[in-house]
Structure 1
Amino acid sequence: MMPRQVWTFDPQSGGVKIPPALQPEIRQRIVEHADKHYSGKFNRIDVRFRGCFCYIDAYVEPFVAPDFDSEALGITAEEYRERLRNTPVHLCRLRHFGEEGRWSMAFYTYSQDKYEPSFFDNGTWFGTPEEAFDTSAVYLEG
């Protein structure tokens, strides 16, 4: 006898393409939330869309040690600082399921160098883009 296949919902697969008409509203919500709650912790926020995904990155003011050795890297401290200013800090990737508030999240893990499924701070697989920002803002606390 063959085992029965059981359908289970996976919040980290599937999804619905984010309509182009919705993208500016989502971007604005995320940026306004970041400005209101995390002002001064980043230079700018980048929100981009691809299919069912919404990627959130931050650009931060880098720390460069006072004893920076420009000869070792072949660039000045200011050139190094500018390079880091233009390197994004990946925060998270949202997956859209078509219904308002029906987003899952994958947190960017630098130890694995990839997006990993994550619960929202509300303890569930689903939340809003603003809640995803709050969950992943740990990278802005440094």
Structure 2
Amino acid sequence: MKKGLFALPQAHVDAATMDAIEWWSTYGSETPELAEVAKKVLSQPISSSYAERNWSTYSYIHSIKRNRLNNKRADKLLFVHSNIRLVSQFSESYKEGPFKEWDINPESSNLESSSVRLDDMQWESLYKDVAGKAKGKRQRVD
């Protein structure tokens, strides 16, 4: 059940007619933290660049050379590629290397020369020493 200013009939009318940021400035005083988050989210510019980047990556993954991939497998590879790219953004070589341009101008990304590849990743966090076993033995963590 709505309470306070959110329960007012005028709030519902204004929600349909007012600018969203102005509405939150008017009716968000009872929930200042929520109003602040809403204003920040609503202030973000709308862009299709993220979707375009995903489509570009998808077309790279599901190219003519790899046309036998089914959609589910290609989606999984896209997920892995995107997450590897996110992880690489925290490495020193990414911050100082030629790929920092991706953050400045993401439209100029070149997927063929990606700084991080699946083969180069070291998944040390996926393994841990097994307690009570001989040193050097490792166990996979699922």
TM-score range for the pair, normalised by the shorter chain length: under 0.3
Flag the structure with higher helix content: 2
Tell me which structure has the larger Cα radius of gyration.
Answer: 2
TM-score relative to the length of structure 1: 0.28
Flag the structure with higher strand content: 1
Question: More relative contact order in 1 or in 2 (CA 8 Å, sep 6+)?
Answer: 1
